[in-house]
Structure 1
Amino acid sequence: MSAYRDGGRTVVLIPATFSAEEEAHWVERMLARLSAGDRRRESGDEQLAARAAQLSRRYLGGHARPTSVRWVSTMGRRWASCTPAEGTIRVSDRLRDVPDHVLDYVLLHELAHLLVPAHGPAFWRLLASYPRLERARGFLDGLAHAEGLPLSDEVEGVAGE
């Protein structure tokens, strides 16, 4: 049994052999689980946005001001992404349990993209003041290797290029 959101619809998958009573019970239970997850994500999004604002102030002089920062579960090959034109930042929920310095690096990386879209020298200069930059990138490379994903240098070029 599972339930998920598909655009404006909620889809609940249950065995076809369930009686009407079992179906009603499990649909109600799965909808309650989805609602609880939605509440947790919304609260988590607020904390993530506050953390991003703090990082922007500390490392970027407060110049990076995203319109939204949120966790997403649909990101399979990336740790995070940003849309500079809209000011939005999305972070893969696969990073919920990484060490703080790793999440901070990912947020700072996306915040820097609000100011400099490409991974050129100006971009890496913005990140240079983050003291655990190389450790965080190394951690992410290890995680990427374990998940069979490309390493950071393969995705975005070598730092400082």
Structure 2
Amino acid sequence: MTCGFPSKGGELGKKTRVRGQCWSAAASEDRHAEIFISPVEDDRATVAAILAHEMIHAALPDAGHKRPFQIAAASIGHKAPFTSSEATPEFMEWAEALLDSLPPYPHRRLNAMRPVAQKKKQTARMIKCECAECGYTVRTTRKWLESVGAPICPTEGHGRMQHDPIDGNEDDDD
């Protein structure tokens, strides 16, 4: 077991993130299962729940999250959905004595440059522009909105279109 990013799904900034991963013994040259716990996790109970989940995968490498895995996970207090590994009160009751006998988890949370799971700013998206009077809609780039402003509606007399905010500034609507 090690603290490290999983091979996929561990990227920072994604909406969903893999918190733990188990590689079966068949994938390792030394025939040992390899377990990764994300370095953005540092809560003892959370890490214990993730580790227990991944150890079940190591013990039952062909089960995935199917029935044999579910039975094993339920026996230590995990609850559905079995694809996640939350530290339920039932799990903590099962794990507390063991956790109390161990030293603190020797890792502190890795803080990313932006909060984990926060969406990245979409710098290249097309911004919707709409005429407030007739609903005529076009999309253009942020570059053109910033350099020359919103397009003008082709219907005579309607003027400049309104558009979605640029950079989250709600007051930009010209």
TM bracket, shorter-chain basis: 0.3 to 0.5
TM-score (norm 2): 0.35
Give me the TM-score of the superposition, normalised by structure 1.
Answer: 0.38
Q: Going by fraction, where is helix more abundant, 1 or 2?
A: 1
